């Protein structure tokens, strides 16, 4: 119920207002106001009370209000003062658009009584908008053959303002070919057109860019711009032209196949198919060139290997042709750059493979070097090993001589391997090596050298003839015939030594041979020199000392000096029957011509008539009684003694001794001293006597030798005019023996002996030798 009651008055009020409006429209006149757009809010449009002829405050008391009639509420009424104020800033273009004039209608409604007033507000345009083009860039395509005066329409600019504030004029940026004209449509709007003032040339300027400006009629005027891009359409009126008439390039000779050499470029000012250029290589000179060109890109590439040494420069022509048959050409000059691709070459002109070792600065080889490269790549340096005694000497241009630095020594080094190193100065450096083998030929500059300064050889006596007794060895550092050694025996310093009858030598290998049997007792040692001579010219020689020592063999049996065994009857010794045990009956004296242990003698009683009566001392040959004699003993006894040496095999001699027992003779028995001598003291006394006897005999022997030598020297002096004397060859007579110093005695003698009347010990007495002889020998 309340809602219904509330709505009923409102409906009544709306109906009432509608009726009032109809009445107002039927009879009232409008009040018009005018103001420019974009006026600031709060602007006093007018005093409505005054314009309506109402008192102050009447508008308030009558409930005056504004009815906008669907328009934007731009105005507000101050009922107390009657002022009509601008509520917000108006925009004519937003409110009216292109409608001219722009009038906004609204009503003033008063109550008590109801009264309506029509009010119009006209918004005048101000120049608050600049012209705008719908496109930022306008494209025109014009053939370059277009005639001057040709007109080209353009899109117009849009300006929200109207009247004089709208677009009034069009201009273009200054240029040589076009100007702009402004034309009006039937609705009064202006639009631009371009007029061609000068013929176009696409090759000269294929595209033009103009700035089109639209100006309105405001004060100050506003403007808008857009870009007009004009493409000049081509016709085939230009031949291709290369960017350069001559292309000069450098290419290393070691460039790989298909390497890019240079790219030529020709420009055809025409466009489209008229500007397409095809490149071709014009083969000049009739020769094949190692290049190929890409007909589209103009790239010249390498199709064959380059060789600076064969061809260092190429010149050719390139032709560019467009689709219309027009063409242009250029020249390409290609300089081939040298790279270090050739190793130096060495050519031997003269070579000597053998050099004498005594030849200083001998020429070994003459050679030349070459390198086909250029610059540093062709500059050459030659060298050899530093440690070799050779030098490289430059001679003429690229010729060198290899010579010896000094005299060579074949014995130190007989062969040299010389490596000649030839290098260029390129990068990288290339090197050639050549090895020469040089043989050092020998000269006879070295004498034979014996392996020992002296040789001592030993040979046993009684050797077989032609016995090899040793080898003498010498070496010679030289080679060939210069190192061939011939051995020979040099004449001995002792002229009495018949060397050629004793020794021979093999001249090829130095082997020494004994020509005959040696006799130690005759010749114990001898010396001689051996010479070694090489086969060089002149021959060189050297010599060494050889000493031959004859070694003793047990080839002599002991020789009994006493008792003598050469008589027909054995030697008889007298023995008193009263002799005590140990009585010295006799002493067997024997010698051995051998030496050393071959001359060590021992004595042995082999057989006796009465075996137990006598004994022999093994070392000194003394025969003594072993017991007292008695009546039953036989008056005559035979003793068989053996003297044996210590050789291998041992040799011996027998001694037959006859002993007669006697009762007494003038002094048959010498009594023993009060203090009896023991056997050892008695043996020492006998040894002393023997030594004294030997010294006496030796003195006499030396005197005899001196006399013998003196006689021989005198005889030699008398016979000097008849020639040299010689030593008889062969063995000496058997009764002449050597002085050896070995054995029981040192010499062989014939002795006489006797028993003295005053001898109480039956000792014997040595006498002077009858005929002592000996052989002088060189020791």
For residue 569, the model assigns a pLDDT of 67
Looking at residue 287, its pLDDT comes to 58
Tell me the CA end-to-end span of the chain in Å, nearest whole number: 189
The most confident of the ranges 17-21, 257-261, 768-772 is 257-261
- The answer on pLDDT for 506 being more than 60 is yes
H or E segment at 169? strand 167-172
How far is it, in rounded angstroms, from Cα 59 to Cα 83?
Answer: 10
What is the percent of the chain with per-residue pLDDT over 90, rounded to a whole number?
Answer: 23
Q: In the predicted model, is pLDDT for residue 18 greater than 50?
A: no
> What is the percent of the chain with per-residue pLDDT over 70, rounded to a whole number?
84
More confident residue, 773 or 540: 540
Rg (CA), the chain: 81
C-alpha to C-alpha distance for 208 and 229, rounded to whole angstroms: 6
Mean pLDDT value of segment 585-606: 88
- pLDDT, tens digit, 9 for 90 and up, residues 186-197: 777 888 999 999
Q: Is the pLDDT of residue 286 over 70?
A: no
Q: Mean pLDDT across the stretch 193-215?
A: 89
Residue 127 pLDDT level (bands cut at 50, 70, 90): confident
What pLDDT score does 739 carry? 34
Which tokens belong to 579? Answer: 């002799």
Residue 547 host element (H or E): strand 541-551
Provide the 3-class DSSP secondary structure of residue 19: helix
- Summarised one tens digit per residue, pLDDT across range 333-383 is 999 988 888 889 999 888 888 888 888 888 989 999 998 888 888 888 999
Q: Which among 544, 524, 540, 541 is positioned nearest to 532, based on CA atoms? A: 541
Q: Per-residue DSSP letters for 414-459?
A: SEEEEEEEEEESSSS--EEEEEEEEEEE--S----EESSSEEEEEE
Q: Do 588 and 601 meet the contact criterion of CB atoms below 8 Å apart?
A: no
Distance CA 770, CA 750 (A): 6
User: Which pLDDT score, from 0 to 100, does residue 544 have?
Assistant: 94
Residue 720, pLDDT score:
53
Q: What's the predicted TM-score (pTM) here?
A: 0.42
pLDDT of residue 681: 53
Distance CA 596, CA 593 (A): 10
Is it the case that residue 313 has pLDDT exceeding 70? yes
- Three-class secondary structure of residue 121 per DSSP: strand
Residue 468 has pLDDT above 90, yes or no: yes
Confidence of residue 175 (pLDDT cuts 50, 70, 90): very high
Instruction: Give per-residue pLDDT as tens, 402-411.
Output: 998 888 888 8
Answer whether residue 266 shows pLDDT above 60: yes
Q: Report which secondary-structure segment, H or E, holds 162.
A: none
Nearest to 613 by CA among 637, 648, 649: 637
Tell me what pLDDT residue 668 has. 43
Question: DSSP letter at 566?
Answer: -
Q: Which of 189, 188, 208 is nearest to 198 (CA)?
A: 208
Average pLDDT, the chain: 79
CA distances from 253 to 304, 307, 310, 334, 769 (A): 11, 6, 10, 11, 119
CA angle 50, 51, 56 (to 5 degrees): 25
75 has pLDDT over 60? yes
- Average the pLDDT over 471-487 and give the result: 89
Cβ contact 331:286 at 8 Å: no
Average pLDDT of the residues in 532-551:
92
pLDDT band for position 530 (50/70/90)? very high
Specify whether the CB–CB gap between 587 and 562 falls below 8 A.
Answer: yes
- Is cis: bond before 758, omega within 30 of 0? no
Which band of pLDDT confidence, cut at 50, 70 and 90, is reported for residue 262? very high
Angstrom distance (rounded) from CA 407 to CA 410: 10
Higher pLDDT, 684 or 65: 65
Look at 757 and 707; give whichever has higher pLDDT.
707
Of 271, 322, 276, nearest in space to 142 by CA: 271
Q: How confident is the model at residue 779 (pLDDT cuts 50, 70, 90)?
A: very low
Q: pLDDT category, 181, cuts 50, 70, 90?
A: very high
For residue 603, give both structure tokens. Answer: 């004595």
Half-sphere exposure of 211 (CA within 13 A, CB side): 7
User: Do 770 and 776 contact (CB within 8 A), yes or no?
Assistant: no
Tokens 């050639």, residue? 432
Q: How confident is the model at residue 701 (pLDDT cuts 50, 70, 90)?
A: confident
Q: What confidence tens digit (pLDDT) does each residue in 30-41 have?
A: 788 888 877 877
């Amino acid at each position: 119920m309340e809602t219904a009651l509330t709505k009923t008055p409102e409906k009544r009020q709306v109906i009432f207002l509608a009726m009032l409006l109809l009445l107002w429209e039927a009879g009232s006149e409008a009040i018009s106001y005018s103001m420019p757009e974009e006026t600031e809010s709060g602007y006093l449009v007018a005093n409505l009370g005054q314009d309506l002829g109402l008192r102050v405050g009447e508008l308030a008391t009558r409930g005056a209000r504004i009815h906008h009639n669907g328009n934007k509420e731009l105005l507000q009424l101050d009922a107390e003062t009657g002022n009509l104020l601008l509520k917000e800033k108006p925009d004519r273009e937003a409110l009216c658009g292109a409608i001219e004039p722009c009038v906004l209608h609204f009503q003033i409604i008063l109550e008590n009584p109801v009264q309506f007033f029509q009010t119009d507000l006209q918004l005048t345009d101000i120049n608050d908008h600049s012209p705008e083009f719908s496109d930022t860039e306008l494209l025109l395509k014009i053939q370059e053959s277009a005639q001057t005066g040709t007109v080209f329409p353009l899109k117009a600019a849009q300006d929200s303002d109207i009247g004089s504030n709208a677009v009034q004029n069009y201009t273009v940026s200054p240029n040589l070919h076009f100007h702009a004209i402004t034309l009006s449509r039937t609705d009064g709007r202006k639009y631009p057109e371009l007029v061609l003032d000068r013929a176009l040339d696409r090759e000269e300027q294929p595209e033009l860019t103009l700035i089109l400006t639209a100006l309105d009629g405001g004060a100050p005027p506003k403007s808008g711009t857009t870009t007009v891009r004009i493409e000049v359409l081509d016709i085939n009126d230009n031949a291709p032209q290369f960017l350069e008439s001559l292309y000069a390039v450098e290419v290393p000779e070691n460039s790989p196949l298909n390497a890019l050499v240079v790219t030529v470029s020709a420009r055809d000012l025409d466009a489209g198919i008229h500007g397409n250029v095809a490149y071709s290589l014009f083969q000049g000179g009739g020769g094949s060139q190692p290049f190929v060109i890409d007909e589209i890109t103009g790239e010249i590439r390498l199709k064959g290997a380059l060789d600076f040494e064969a061809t260092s420069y190429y010149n050719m022509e390139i032709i560019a042709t467009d689709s219309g048959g027009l063409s242009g050409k250029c020249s390409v000059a290609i300089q081939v750059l040298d790279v270090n691709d050739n190793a130096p070459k060495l050519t031997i002109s003269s070579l000597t493979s053998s050099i004498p070792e005594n030849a200083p600065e001998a020429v070994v080889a003459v050679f030349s070097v070459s390198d086909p490269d250029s610059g540093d790549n062709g500059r050459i340096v030659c060298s050899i090993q530093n440690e070799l005694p050779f030098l490289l000497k430059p001679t003429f241009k690229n010729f060198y001589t290899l010579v010896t630095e000094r005299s060579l020594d074949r014995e130190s080094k007989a062969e040299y391997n010389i490596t000649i190193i030839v290098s260029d100065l390129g990068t990288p450096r290339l090197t050639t090596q050549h090895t020469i083998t040089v043989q050092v030929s020998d000269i006879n500059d070295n004498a034979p050298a014996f392996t020992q300064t002296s040789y001592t050889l030993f040979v046993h006596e009684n050797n077989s003839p032609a016995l090899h007794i040793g080898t003498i060895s010498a070496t010679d550092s030289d080679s060939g015939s210069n190192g061939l050694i011939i051995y020979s025996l040099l004449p001995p310093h002792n002229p009495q030594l018949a060397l050629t009858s004793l020794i021979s030598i093999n001249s090829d290998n130095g082997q020494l041979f004994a020509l005959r049997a040696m006799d130690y007792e005759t010749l114990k040692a001898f010396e001689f020199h051996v010479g070694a001579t090489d086969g060089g010219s002149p021959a060189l020689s050297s010599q060494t000392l050889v000493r031959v020592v004859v070694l003793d063999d047990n080839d002599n049996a002991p020789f009994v000096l006493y008792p003598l065994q050469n008589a027909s009857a054995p030697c008889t010794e007298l023995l008193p029957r009263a002799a005590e045990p140990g009585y010295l009956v006799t002493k067997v004296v024997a010698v051995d011509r051998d030496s050393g242990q071959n001359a060590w003698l021992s004595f042995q009683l082999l057989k006796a008539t009465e075996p137990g009566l006598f004994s022999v001392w093994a070392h000194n040959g003394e025969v003594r009684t072993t017991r007292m004699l008695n009546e039953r003993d036989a008056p005559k006894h035979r003793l068989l003694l053996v003297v044996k040496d210590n050789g291998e095999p041992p040799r011996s001699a027998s001694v037959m001794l006859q002993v007669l027992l006697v009762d007494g003779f003038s002094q048959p028995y010498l009594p023993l001293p009060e203090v009896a001598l023991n056997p050892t003291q008695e043996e020492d006394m006998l040894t002393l006597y023997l030594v004294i006897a030997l010294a006496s005999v030796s003195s006499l022997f030396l005197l005899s030798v001196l006399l013998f030598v003196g006689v021989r020297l005198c005889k030699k002096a008398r016979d000097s005019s008849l020639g040299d004397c010689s030593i008889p060859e062969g063995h000496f007579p058997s009764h002449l023996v050597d002085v050896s110093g070995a054995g029981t005695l040192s010499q062989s003698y014939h002795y006489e002996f006797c028993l003295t009347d005053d001898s109480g010990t039956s000792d014997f007495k040595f006498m002077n030798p009858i005929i002592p002889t000996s052989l002088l020998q060189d020791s």
